[in-house]
Structure 1
Amino acid sequence: MHGPASSGWLLVALCAATGAYCLLRTRSRVEEQRRAAGGEALMGFGMAVMAVPATAFTPPVWAWPACAAVFALAGLPALRAARTGACHLHHLIGAGAMVYMAVTMATSPGSGDGHGHAQGDAGIPLPTGALLLYFVAYVLVTGVRLVPVAAVAGDGRGAGWGDRPELARACRLSMAIAMVAMLLTM
């Protein structure tokens, strides 16, 4: 992605930490939460890799198509499950956004250095704008929902720290914020 190196490294740290937490959440006792946490861990680590500043690392030519393929495959289970809940639809949109960003990076004019982008023409491309609107709305709605859940988190039911809904929402919120930042640099 583009932008100052310091903000790029902050995005890398945020996404990697979120991916690590989601990886720990895969130890949940609840099957559905384990599956969702696995997909979110992949998303967090993938976003961390994509956010590495261009000045620090030039990926090989095959890296962006490989990222697109990985996230297209990761989106297939979400595509099947999207009919059953909004969380699955969010995972599908997130995987689609990652595929879009990887394809954009692979096909942009400056992609010879692995970090090209297609700016310079009039305005934001329609897919980028639509994804930005979705993720900004998601951040706002999830942020508002996070406050009440945190207030009832200590109800003493004995749920493990990986099964707490406010932590899962905070994880998704941080990845959505990072996605907004990444889309703004496209």
Structure 2
Amino acid sequence: MHGPTLVNWLLALLTATAGAHCLARLRHAPGSPHAPDAPHALHTACAPSPAPPSATHPTGPRRLLARETDAAEALMGLGMAGMAVTGAAVPASVWAWLFGIPAAVFLLAAAGTPDRRGHRLHHAVGGLAMAYAALAMTASHGHHHHVPSTGAPLLTGALLLYFGAYSLWTGTRLLHAPDGTVTVGTAGLPQACRLTMGIGMFAMLLGL
């Protein structure tokens, strides 16, 4: 990525933390071989109050979709951290395949089934944006240093608007409480991770 080294390392730290949290949720999700034996061991840290069994232990398609989301967000966070640290040291084709294939899978899934279509389209946009950013950053190293920017300005601007709006929306949901108070607890950790990755994606695109 372009920009100050300190900013790149801060971005890498934040997105790596968010990605690791998503990976931990995926690893300890109900039905996972690494899930704790006691059902309450996971959910006491994720929910401040008891939840109905159907909400605490999603089954069938809901469980699959929850694990799908955790996997996509873990890939996004850890991949963003890797890109921020390695820059052009890793070939752009590696990043393009790493994020392009899941993006295509999410696009096909969104087209094939209406369930959670919005979430899948968001993950597809995120994967395509990551592949685009990797290709644009690599292209910048092939030009002279006086070239001010890379990539397609209209596409970069559209993605900036998308992830900027997504970050604002996610931040609003994170701070919203049913009683009208502003609070952030352990139940808001998934939203906080999504907010971190939305801001990270915005910062990465801003640096193109």
Which interval holds the TM-score relative to the shorter structure?
A: 0.7 to 0.9
Shift of 1:149: 5.2
Identify the residue that residue 51 of structure 1 maps to in structure 2: 84
Identify the residue that residue 195 of structure 2 maps to in structure 1: 173
Distance in 1 of aligned mates of 2:23 and 2:178 = 21
Change (3 A) 1:64 1:117: farther
Uncovered stretches (5+) of structure 1, i.e. residues with no partner: 153-160
Distance in 2 of aligned mates of 1:22 and 1:67 = 20
The residue identity in structure 1 corresponding to 2:158 is: A
Corresponding residue SS for 2:71: helix
Distance in 2 of aligned mates of 1:151 and 1:81 = 37
The residue identity in structure 2 corresponding to 1:28 is: A
The one of 117, 138, 154 equivalent to 1:106 is: 138
Identify the residue that residue 25 of structure 1 maps to in structure 2: 25
- Establish whether residue 119 from structure 1 lines up as the match of residue 148 from structure 2: yes
Distance in 1 of aligned mates of 2:136 and 2:146 = 7
Distance in 2 of aligned mates of 1:151 and 1:59 = 49
Distance in 2 of aligned mates of 1:72 and 1:172 = 20
Change (3 A) 1:151 1:51: farther
Change (3 A) 1:81 1:120: closer
- Residues paired across the two proteins, number: 165
Change (3 A) 1:52 1:77: same
Shift of 1:76: 2.2
User: Normalising to structure 1: TM-score of the pair?
Assistant: 0.78
Identify the residue that residue 138 of structure 1 maps to in structure 2: 166
Q: 1:65·1:106 contact (CA, 8 Å) conserved in 2?
A: no
Identify the residue that residue 16 of structure 2 maps to in structure 1: 16
Distance in 2 of aligned mates of 1:148 and 1:79 = 30
Q: 1:111·1:117 contact (CA, 8 Å) conserved in 2?
A: no
The one of 90, 96, 105 equivalent to 1:77 is: 105
Shift of 1:107: 2.7
Change (3 A) 1:47 1:150: farther
The residue identity in structure 1 corresponding to 2:190 is: A
Distance in 2 of aligned mates of 1:120 and 1:43 = 24
Identify the residue that residue 128 of structure 1 maps to in structure 2: 156
Change (3 A) 1:118 1:76: farther
Q: 1:18·1:171 contact (CA, 8 Å) conserved in 2?
A: yes
Distance in 2 of aligned mates of 1:92 and 1:151 = 34
Shift of 1:92: 0.8
The one of 98, 121, 127 equivalent to 1:95 is: 127
Larger Rg: 2
Change (3 A) 1:149 1:169: farther
Distance in 2 of aligned mates of 1:171 and 1:95 = 16
Identify the residue that residue 42 of structure 1 maps to in structure 2: 75
Q: 1:9·1:53 contact (CA, 8 Å) conserved in 2?
A: no
Shift of 1:118: 5.3
Identity percentage of aligned residues: 43
